[in-house]
Structure 1
Amino acid sequence: MEVVGRVSGRRNWSDGEKLEVLADAFRPGVRVRDVLQRRDLSSGLVYTWRKQARLGLLAGTVPALPAFAEVRVAEVESIAPAAQLSVPTPGLISIDLPGGVRVSVDAAVDAGALARVLSVLG
């Protein structure tokens, strides 16, 4: 007698089944690999479903909002008055754009990158 572990061909998974697998695989403290082995799934399939769920493409899901990181604003140390003077630095190029934007680069700037930055800033 021969036991076949996988059935050839593709299986159609309902959105509910996909969400059930995702909930199981991405629970805190659970290794995704263990869930994949237990359910006989490939990792690529599960990560494709995860992306679909994030985009709201599976029934019962909404697109995920971007994740934000906590930002803390630190106190700025006062600058010595002598350092506040506008002393030209050798090799430094300052470009004043309309609207009060100033771009400062040194002599080693990549010309292509500078052109892209200036085109965006207008």
Structure 2
Amino acid sequence: MTVFGGRERRRRWGEDERAKILAEAFSPGACVARVARQYDVSTALVYTWRRKACLEAGVAGAAASAQVGFVEAVVLDDGGSKPLPSPPAVVVDLPGGRRVNIYASAPPGMAAAVLKALIR
């Protein structure tokens, strides 16, 4: 038999801590996964807290906690001048006339994943 000692893994979150994490996780432009990682809590638990908070507040649905509305959009005519795309850094011609282009602006990890997938 193995007995694990030390700090208990299951944490107890106080109402103030939950409110702080929820406010930070669902603020405009925030990434829930990043905030959850920062506080060492699972994203599923953050969403559970939000759902419970909405139910306690009498809000129908978790999406209703965010303010939903319309924003005026302005479309400007740029005269049809589009910048010419740079040529791809890597071109792979596949059977059947298909082609895979990898541009220099692609993240290296993504380019490597695409090339590995083509080798299989």
Could you say which structure has the larger radius of gyration?
Answer: 1
Structure with larger RCO (C-alpha < 8 A, sep 6+):
1
* TM beyond 0.5: no
Q: Under a length normalisation based on structure 2, what TM-score does the superposition of the two structures give? A: 0.42
Judging by fraction of residues, say which structure has more helix: 2
